[in-house]
Amino acid sequence: MLALPATTRTLLLASLYPFRSLALHDYTPQFAIASAAYATMASDTSDAQTREGGKPMLARHRQQNDEAADIKSQTAARNSYFPLSYKDGVAQWWAGLSPAVTEHRVLSFIPYLRQPPTQTQTGGKQNGSSMSVDKSDAKEAAPVKTDSEDPYGPRMWHSDLVQLSGKNRFLNEFSVERLNETTSNNLVLLHGYGAGLGFYYKNFESLSRLPHWKLYALDMPGMGRSSRPPFTIKSKDREGKVREAESWFVDALEEWRVKRGIEKMTLMGHSLGGYMAVCYALKYPGRLDKLILASPVGIPEDPYAVSEAMPTEAEANNIAKEFADAETENLPSHQQPQKSSGAQPPPRRPYSKWLTTLWDANISPFSVVRFAGPLGPRLVSGWTSRRFAHLPAEEAQALHDYSYSLFRQKGSGEYALAYILAPGAFARSPLIRRIQGVGRQYLEPHSEPSVDNADRPASREDVKRVRETGIPVVFYYGDHDWMDVKGGRDAIERMGEEKRKALANATDEEMRLENGDVKVRVVKNAGHHVYLDGAEEFNKMVAEEMRDVEVRQRRLAGKR
């Protein structure tokens, strides 16, 4: 039997619980990784138990052998969850392909782009060390122009590393712009939890066809090929920790926007990227033409999630020495939910103590991959073999390599998840409580992604303040998405109510400029990754929304 330390077994068991919110998955890599690992252990055990010495069997021995054969057959089926062989897994771990190499390979499947540009300034180091940043000219990528064979060209494709303020803060950027015309609009794409911009490879070409639009895709801070600075939380109170974790991402996006000289943009985010897109709209009002949310996490409210204890500072600090004590059983003890005075706490969900302990200790599924060493690629294959099964084999393999190369990088932005989501994947500060503020905020600096209520009585000072007059918001869900479409429909109700309140007190000019609108659309034959599973239909839908932005801009400008 494959022997694993007790703590490793515990970690793998923890990953069995389907947290179903982590944006990369229709079912999570924790489940796939752990299922695969235990299938392997079961297989090893079964093989050892069914070896016979060739002696004649009695009836009871034949029965035992038949049962063993059945077990072995079942084990073989379980092993299908774990398709990568030990040999290939070790070979991939040893080869240590960098994220720059694997991202380049994925982007090479973009139509008309045979040789995509790939800056190699990040993504050099492996095995959990800090991702290297090399700003030398030799590591930069020259833009690539597609023209003669590009029916929608000429277009310029570029890979860049955008430096932000502070130490070791860079965002990996991929962009597409049309040449010989002015850029009037910008579409910016944010990926989900632990993923990278390469997952949008089926969308770049189609969504960059529209005249006068420039497309950007970004790796969020501490994820993908962006730099991996330490993630720390300084706030002491519960709400402050949530807001600080959110701001860690959205402040970087705002700094990037300023550096790129973009006045306004259409922002699209998938899953955790969708959550952050909403937070950005609340903290930085007036910067969005439209908000597109592809299966966003964190919309619904759950009584357990909003009362569950936050990770302590000591637990958060444990991530700095990730698994240094992996051979011991001394895991941090789980804190009980905070009780408010005079009120009964909501009933606790039946989550195991080890599950909530590891979650609150900020041990991510990617920690398991990093700790698994040569077993890592094999564990990841349990997820990638299913997630990309509908794709051509060559593309599926490229996405597997890309995923593993990102999963094994040093943990950084992934550690924000425990501050934003509670065990069970519901938000600690659910967006349904705040989403009504999208497009209704005062046009002034905000310290955090919180709501300016449109219905509160206006003070003398408020008369001088200018408020947003709404922005269009679109929710996309797959028709077999594990993310509940009800979250989007509840948001329609909340935002509609806020719109009615705002219009009740609106001036004639505010009425003329009113631009608020929200809707939910369902993509056929798609799961959580709506942009990938139903790429063709999704691209058509998003292109319609981009054209709608242009129509609204002409109307607001008084033009037909």
Q: Are 117 and 416 in contact (CB under 8 A)?
A: no
pLDDT in single tens digits along all 560 residues of the chain: 344 444 444 444 444 333 333 434 443 444 344 434 433 333 333 333 333 333 333 444 445 555 555 544 444 444 566 788 888 888 888 888 899 999 999 999 999 998 999 998 886 544 444 567 887 888 899 999 998 889 998 999 999 999 999 988 999 999 999 999 999 999 999 999 989 999 999 999 999 999 999 999 999 999 999 999 988 889 888 899 999 999 999 999 999 999 999 999 999 999 999 999 999 999 999 999 999 999 999 999 876 667 666 665 554 444 333 333 332 233 333 333 344 444 554 444 555 555 555 555 555 667 788 888 888 888 888 888 888 889 999 999 999 999 999 988 888 888 888 899 887 678 999 999 999 999 999 999 899 999 986 555 555 566 678 999 999 999 999 999 989 999 999 999 999 999 999 999 899 999 999 999 999 999 999 999 999 999 999 999 999 999 999 999 999 998 76
Rounded distance between C-alpha atoms, residue 336 and residue 348, angstroms: 10
Rounded distance between C-alpha atoms, residue 384 and residue 199, angstroms: 12
- From the list 116, 97, 204, 119, the residue with the least C-alpha distance to 163 is 119
Rounded distance between C-alpha atoms, residue 334 and residue 312, angstroms: 10
Pull the structure tokens for residue 543.
Answer: 């292109």
Question: Number of C-alpha atoms within 13 angstroms, CB side, residue 403?
Answer: 28
3-state secondary structure of 223: coil
Q: Give the pLDDT confidence score for residue 370 in this predicted structure.
A: 83
Angle at 45 between CA 40 and CA 47, to 5 degrees: 95
The active-site residue, picked from 247, 271, 307, 381, is 271
Q: Are 185 and 546 in contact (CB under 8 A)?
A: yes
Residues in the chain: 560
Q: Give the pLDDT confidence score for residue 332 in this predicted structure.
A: 35
**148 part of the active site:** no
The active-site residue, picked from 160, 289, 481, 517, is 481
* Alpha helices, DSSP H, located in 233-345: 238-259, 272-283, 303-307, 313-317
**25 part of the active site:** no
**480 part of the active site:** no
The active-site residue, picked from 25, 400, 528, 529, is 528
Q: Are 326 and 7 in contact (CB under 8 A)?
A: yes
Pull the structure tokens for residue 477.
Answer: 């869900």
DSSP state of 69: H
Q: Give the pLDDT confidence score for residue 22 in this predicted structure.
A: 41
Q: Are 295 and 274 in contact (CB under 8 A)?
A: yes
DSSP state of 344: P
